[in-house]
């Protein structure tokens, strides 16, 4: 099983186009301590030829250009055989519009996520003759590409921002936010780019995986407020902080996990600065901070 982090940032990327928070300021200046990052996505493969992309980032064309394994090998061709969505957030579905050029692939998602796409006619640019959209049930293994077994499981989350109403339920475990357990060759990889809090059921799912790629959006619940760029907490956005009594660093510390990697990292998170006290703190706890192009072989 081969996995490549195509995009390691949360929505907006690093630097975000309209942001001068401390981290983005370093990135705009070309400071080598902050690597530019595109928005959250993962590529995974077993046979070396047919790849699954997990979440179609708005930056998908840039990500393909940076990843030779995903580039066309013939006049009209793509190694991307399938796309899988873990939620309906803009930073995970907008890239589908860049995959509209008549190339066949399969689009996997839960029924709730599929319905949200079907209700938005802009996604009709994905021709039904070329792109099939099967509904995937939670807990039922399926094979998105040859040799790779995938199982979706509910993760505490919320509906996408563009589907929010007057009242927003946060932390429910339903089909709107899911994690994925990948299995091949006796190895297990868990991908959870969005998570509102670490529940007991989630802990059970993640125990004993060989590799965990987990939501690293915010360091503290009030990251955006401290940076002066917003009023929402991490919890309100559906993301658990790294620090704190109920943060991921503490809540996942006792699990038997082979390797721990933070992905979907917001541009305001100081963990993005190489050599910083925050980075050293996270690394001392056994975590890696992902960057674009980080790859794994299991």
Per-residue pLDDT tens for 162-208?
Answer: 776 777 778 888 899 999 999 999 999 999 999 999 999 999 999 99
pLDDT class of 159 with cuts at 50, 70, 90 = confident
Domain count, the chain: 1
pLDDT class of 248 with cuts at 50, 70, 90 = very high
pLDDT class of 88 with cuts at 50, 70, 90 = very high
Give tens-digit pLDDT for 7-60. Answer: 999 999 999 999 999 999 999 999 999 999 999 999 999 999 999 999 999 999
- Residue 51: give the domain boundaries: 2-297
Residue 236 has pLDDT above 80, yes or no: yes
Give tens-digit pLDDT for 68-85. Answer: 999 999 999 999 999 999
CB 180, CB 150: distance < 8 Å: yes
Q: What is the pTM of this model?
A: 0.96
Backbone torsions φ then ψ of 201, nearest 5 degrees: -65, -35
Residues present in the chain in total: 298
DSSP 163: G
pLDDT class of 275 with cuts at 50, 70, 90 = very high
Q: Which CATH number does the domain housing residue 123 bear?
A: 3.60.15.10
DSSP 47: S
Residue 140, classified by CB atoms within 10 Å of its CB into exposed (0-12), middle (13-18) or buried (19+), is exposed
Longest dimension (CA), the chain: 54
């Amino acid at each position: 099983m081969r996995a490549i982090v195509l995009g390691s940032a949360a929505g907006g990327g690093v630097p975000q186009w309209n942001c001068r928070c401390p981290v983005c300021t370093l990135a705009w200046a070309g400071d080598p301590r902050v690597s530019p990052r595109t928005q959250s996505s993962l590529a995974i493969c077993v046979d070396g030829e047919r790849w699954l992309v997990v979440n179609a980032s708005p930056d998908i064309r840039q990500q393909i250009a940076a990843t030779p394994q995903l580039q066309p090998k013939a006049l009209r061709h793509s190694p991307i055989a399938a796309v899988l969505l873990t939620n309906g957030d803009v930073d995970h579905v907008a890239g589908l519009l860049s995959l509209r050029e008549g190339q066949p692939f399969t689009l996997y998602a839960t029924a709730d996520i599929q319905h949200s796409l079907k209700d938005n006619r802009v996604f009709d640019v994905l021709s039904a003759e070329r792109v099939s959209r099967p509904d995937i049930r939670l807990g039922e293994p399926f094979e998105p590409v040859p040799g790779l077994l995938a199982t979706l499981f509910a993760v505490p989350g919320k509906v996408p921002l563009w589907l929010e109403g007057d009242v927003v339920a946060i932390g429910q475990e339903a089909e709107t936010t899911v994690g994925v357990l990948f299995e091949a060759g006796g190895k297990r990889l868990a991908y959870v780019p969005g998570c509102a809090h670490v529940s007991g059921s989630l802990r059970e799912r993640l125990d004993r995986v060989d590799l965990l790629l987990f939501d690293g959006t915010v360091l503290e619940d009030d990251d955006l407020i401290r940076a002066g760029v917003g009023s929402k907490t991490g919890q309100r956005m559906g993301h658990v902080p790294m620090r704190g009594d109920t943060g991921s660093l503490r809540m996942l510390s006792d699990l038997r996990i082979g390797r721990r990697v933070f992905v979907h990292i917001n541009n305001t998170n100081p963990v993005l600065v190489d050599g910083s006290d925050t980075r050293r703190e996270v690394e001392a706890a056994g975590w890696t901070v992902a960057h674009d192009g980080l790859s794994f072989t299991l």
